[in-house]
Amino acid sequence: MRTSVLFTLAAALAAETICASDHDCYPKVFVPTNDWQEIRPGQDIPPGLHVRLNVDTLKREAKLMADDDSGDVNAVYVNPDHQEQVAIYKPQLHENIDSWQAAVDEILGGGTRLEPALDIVADLSHDLEHGAKLTHNPEIFPRLLVLAKEHPDLQDSIYRIMASSLRNNPDAVQQALDSPHNDATVSELLRQLPSSDDTLQKRILGVVSPLTTPSQLMEYYPYLGPEARSRLFNILEDDSAKRDQGQAPDEQVSVYLQKRVPLVPKDKFDNYLDALIDLHKNNEDLNANDEFLTWLADEVEKTKGASPEMHKRLLDARHNVFGNPMAMRKALADEL
């Protein structure tokens, strides 16, 4: 192995370089030593090296393989085909829960001191760096979901941690989106929404809002409590300063959807329209504004003959949901 590495090292010395700036150039092929070194962007990694993720800097590092490296539980190895084999992170439980890493290891390692571990993570998860660390390991969010299911009394704390790590943290959000577990994580949280209490619904919305689309969230609006509905409106509007503080949550969302339905792309149209229709069916005190009714009337005419199924759907919505149900009979008679 050493001969192979030395051959690669010799080749690397003559290889092309990469320049991050006029004063920062480095070999395209990583040149290993016996000490850990950062792997720079764009560098090729020779086979047979010991590669790891530095959990403090979140940067990959590599060095020559030592005889006693095979037992490193945090190792990532590169095979001869230059394809990385990522080992599952195996946390080591610590004697004291007095640091970020000790707390994360306690959570991942199935330790029994969950509350102090969660307290430490909660205190730091809102920090951009620690929020990114939390999502960099794709096993943490799934583990937190398992703990939330096993310990209902800790659900609020767990979901606050997850939401805090993502809030206003683009790096953390992107890493969560790139995780192979993201779809399963979002699906599980959305599954819990209808049966959760109002406060927990708010926490869940804080987690899933950056990881899914507004149209998907709107499907769950009818199941939300008053505070969660206000939270969803804030997510949709993304500007609380524009809110009319005198409006109830249902009215706020109705106004928002009436503005959005005529503008959303075709692939989102059904979700938004269904959400608006369900909202008005469940709350007869809501009113459609003149601008939306004018648009709806125009769409009814446009779809006549061109799209019979959509025409019937919009016609029904215009009269039975947003207008006078008695006018539906006349409208149908006029079309005969």
- Starting at the edge strand that comes first in sequence, how are the strands of the sheet with 84-86 ordered? 37-38, 59-64, 49-54, 75-78, 84-86
Residue with structure tokens 């030395």?
Answer: 6
Neighbour count for residue 284 (Cβ, 10 Å): 8
- Residues 36-68: pLDDT tens digits? 888 888 787 776 667 665 655 656 778 887 655
231: amino acid identity, one letter: R
pLDDT above 90: percentage of residues in the chain: 30
Domains in the chain with CATH codes? 17-63 (no CATH), 98-241 (1.25.10.10), 249-335 (no CATH)
Q: Is a pLDDT exceeding 50 seen at residue 91? A: yes
331: amino acid identity, one letter: A
Residues in the chain: 336
pLDDT the model gives residue 22: 83
Alpha-carbon gap, residue 164 to 169, rounded angstroms: 9
Which one-letter DSSP state was computed for residue 320? I
> What pTM was estimated for this model as a whole?
0.58
* 308 Cβ contact partners less than 8 Å away, ≥ 6 residues apart: none
DSSP-derived 3-state class of residue 94: coil
pLDDT band per the 50, 70, 90 thresholds, residue 132? very high
Residue 117, both tokens: 């571990």
pLDDT band per the 50, 70, 90 thresholds, residue 139? confident
Alpha-carbon gap, residue 244 to 238, rounded angstroms: 14
Q: Helix 170-178 vs helix 128-136: angle between axes, to the nearest 10 degrees?
A: 10
Among candidate residues 75, 18, 14, the one with its CA nearest the CA of residue 48: 75
Q: Are the C-beta atoms of residues 207 and 189 closer than 8 Å to each other?
A: yes
Q: Are the C-beta atoms of residues 74 and 51 closer than 8 Å to each other?
A: no
- Residues 146-177: pLDDT tens digits? 999 989 999 999 999 999 999 999 999 999 99
